[in-house]
């Protein structure tokens, strides 16, 4: 878009009547996100790589605790101003350059959507005899699972929130059932948790940092665009109270995954960290298999739709509001997801955890650092909401030809140092200095903190070219969410 006032409705700030999401609904959202196959697999992969269950649990809980503060901070502008992420990003990047973080976030979501859908396809195939689980059956199941999710998306945000709210108790029940099954078949918690650490101190710390980053990265993209959800919150208190339980939710389900993965050594004689593969080993007849597959499908859908459809659909609407609707954005995301070849990523701990999760977290971290520094440090939480929808040269956030060059430069200098480590990890380049390996292994942390420092310093030193805005404009909007938002 080149100028004028954007008039599309789905990206406009939410109004008082739309602010209905309660603390219970936000808690339900994170329960639905936590109780998912990737969360189980990420935790189980740490045991597979040699950690004891308690070491892996410590990594997961620490990671989610560290992510909680940025998550709550990124939630604030959504709840205060009712802004979706693509519009919020304009304050720090400019109306044109804001497409960059939006597209990067959308690509990550598309990759995740493909991975989760592939897992769902594998789960559906468990209902068929093993002789049918070959070749084209995987492709058919993959397309079918994507179609099922797209049908659910037709219900819109209200339907998605209802799905999260009412499925949360069911998912908790399924997780407890799985834990009980492992307890019975392993012969108690003693045998279940008897698998010792298999790493030396040096090996543990070499695995600790990329594992911590991967566990932060697994939800870094959702945290970045959390305003897409908190814009529907009744108040700041509702989303804060609902999200404070994130470390508890994630830690509790991680314990289930770790305990069951550890128990598979006792039950089957080998470690099985993939819950779909575990389901294939559980015998009990067609009804038991149907129950297990239903649980897997519910866990996948309640994670995949809110985490990987809502954000990119909003982003695509922001790129071309005249063409994209929420539903069309969801459809395009689904099509893009196939291009990531999720069958090559999922199922291998090195590729999934230490290449996929760590690599994209190195991009999400700098974006979060820039947005939070701009909003809290430079703007003191004051935004000209109407100005964010002025995308032409007269707009208060136009910067230089629609781009904040400071934000773009910050992205380059904070993402760049992680690239050699990524290329080394995927085998494109040979040995590199250990310092570059370490920077990649802590990519999200490096990007988040370095971008905050670089962006703040350059903004103060270079000035804010092209930045206008009316501080008094916030008087038109209610920080407490009890007054009027945008005029009709």
Structure confidence by residue, pLDDT tens digits, 332-387: 999 999 999 999 898 788 899 999 999 999 999 999 999 999 999 999 999 999 99
Residue 481 within a domain: no
CATH number at residue 124: 1.10.4160.10
Q: What is the pLDDT of residue 415?
A: 97
Contact in structure between 61 and 221 (CB atoms under 8 Å): no
**What confidence score (pLDDT) does residue 328 get?**
86
The number of domains in the chain is 1
Token look-up 């997961």 returns: 60
Structure tokens at 349: 């701990």
**Which residues of the chain, if any, have pLDDT below 70?**
1-9, 155-165, 463-488
Radius of gyration of the chain (CA): 22
- Indicate the DSSP class of residue 14: P
DSSP 350-392: IIIIIIIIHHHHHHHHHHHHHHHIIIIIISTT---TGGGGB-S
- Give the DSSP letter string of 263-328: HHHHHHSS----HHHHHHH--S-HHHHHHHHHHHHHHHHHHHHHHHTHHHHHHHHHH-TTT--HHH
Domain membership of residue 159 (yes or no) is yes
Cβ atoms < 10 Å from Cβ of 118: 27
Confidence at residue 214, expressed as pLDDT on a 0 to 100 scale: 96
In a domain, 406, yes or no: no
Give the model confidence (pLDDT) of 224-248 as tens digits.
Answer: 999 999 999 999 999 999 999 889 9
Distance of CA 18 to the CA centre of its chain: 24
333 CB-near residues (< 8 Å, 6+ apart):
106, 109, 110, 113, 308, 309, 312, 313, 316
Give the residue among 295, 29, 15, 31 at the shortest CA–CA distance from 161. Answer: 29
Domain assignment present for residue 357? The answer is no
Domain presence at residue 199:
yes
Q: What residues contact 412, with CB distance under 8 A and at least 6 apart? A: none
Residue 96 has a pLDDT of 93
Residue 42 lies in a domain: yes
Is there a domain that residue 436 lies in?
no
Per-residue burial over 423-451, b if 16 or more Cβ lie within 10 Å, else e, is bbbeeeeeeeeeebbebbbbbbbbbbebb
Residues 6+ apart with CB under 8 A from 112: 221, 304, 307, 308
Closest to 302 (Cα-Cα) out of 33, 112, 56: 33
Distance between CA atoms of 274 and 123, rounded to whole angstroms? Answer: 11
Parent domain of 164 = 16-347
User: Quick check: is 373 in a domain?
Assistant: no
Work out the mean pLDDT of the chain and round it to a whole number.
Answer: 86
Closest CA to 375 of 103, 83, 102, 106: 83
The pLDDT assigned to 321 comes to 74
Whether this prediction's pTM lies above 0.85 is answered by yes
The neighbour count for residue 135, using CB atoms within 10 Å, is 8
CA pair distance 247, 217, nearest whole angstrom? 14
Q: What is the phi-psi region of residue 35: left when phi exceeds 0, alpha when psi lies from -120 to 50, beta otherwise?
A: beta
* Rounded-to-10 torsion of CA 78, 82, 86, 92: -60
Asked if residue 157 lies in contact with residue 25, where contact means CB atoms within 8 angstroms, the answer is: no
- Strand-pair partners of 5: 390
């Amino acid at each position: 878009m080149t100028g004028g006032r954007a008039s599309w409705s789905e990206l406009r700030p939410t109004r008082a009547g739309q602010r209905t999401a309660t603390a219970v609904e936000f808690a339900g959202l994170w329960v639905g996100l936590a109780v998912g196959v990737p969360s189980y697999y990420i935790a189980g992969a740490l045991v597979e790589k040699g950690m004891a269950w308690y070491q892996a649990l410590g990594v997961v809980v620490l990671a989610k605790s560290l992510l909680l503060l940025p998550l709550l901070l990124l939630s604030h502008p959504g709840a205060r101003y009712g802004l979706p992420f693509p519009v919020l990003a304009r304050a720090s990047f400019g109306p044109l350059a804001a497409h960059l973080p939006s597209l990067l976030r959308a690509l990550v979501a598309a990759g995740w959507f493909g991975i989760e859908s592939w897992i769902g396809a594998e789960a559906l195939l468990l209902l068929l005899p093993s002789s049918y689980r070959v070749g084209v059956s995987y492709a058919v199941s993959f397309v079918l699972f994507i179609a099922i999710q797209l049908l659910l998306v037709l219900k819109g945000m209200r339907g998605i929130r209802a799905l999260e709210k009412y499925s949360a108790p069911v998912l908790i029940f399924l997780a407890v059932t799985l834990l009980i099954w492992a307890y019975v078949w392993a012969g108690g918690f003693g045998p279940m948790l008897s698998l010792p650490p298999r790493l030396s101190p040096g090996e543990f710390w070499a695995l600790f940092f990329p594992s911590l980053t991967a566990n932060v990265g697994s939800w870094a993209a959702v945290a970045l665009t959390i305003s897409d959800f908190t814009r529907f919150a009744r108040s700041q208190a509702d989303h804060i109270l609902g999200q404070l339980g994130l470390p508890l939710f994630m830690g509790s389900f991680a314990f289930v995954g770790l305990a069951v993965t550890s128990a598979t050594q006792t039950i089957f004689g080998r470690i099985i960290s993939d819950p779909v593969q575990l389901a294939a080993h559980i015998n009990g007849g067609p009804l038991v298999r149907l129950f297990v597959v239903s649980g897997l499908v519910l866990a996948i859908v309640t994670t995949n739709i809110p985490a990987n459809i809502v954000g990119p659909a909003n982003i695509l609407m922001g790129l071309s509001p005249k063409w994209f609707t929420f539903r069309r954005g969801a459809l395009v995301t689904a099509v893009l997801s196939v291009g990531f070849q999720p069958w090559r990523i999922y199922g291998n701990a090195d590729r999934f955890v230490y290449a996929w999760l760590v690599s994209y977290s190195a991009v999400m971290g700098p974006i979060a650092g820039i947005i939070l520094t701009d909003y809290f440090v430079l703007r003191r939480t004051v935004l000209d909401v109407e100005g964010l929808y002025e995308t032409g040269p007269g707009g208060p956030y136009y910067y230089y030809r629609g781009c904040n060059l400071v934000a773009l430069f910050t992205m380059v200098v904070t993402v760049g140092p992680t690239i050699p480590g990524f290329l080394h990890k995927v085998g494109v380049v040979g040995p590199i200095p250990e310092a570059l390996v370490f920077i990649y292994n802590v990519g999200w942390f490096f990007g988040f903190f370095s971008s905050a420092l670089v962006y703040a310093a350059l903004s103060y030193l270079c000035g804010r070219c092209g930045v206008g805005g009316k501080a008094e404009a916030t008087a038109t909007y209610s920080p407490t969410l009890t007054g009027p938002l945008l005029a009709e």
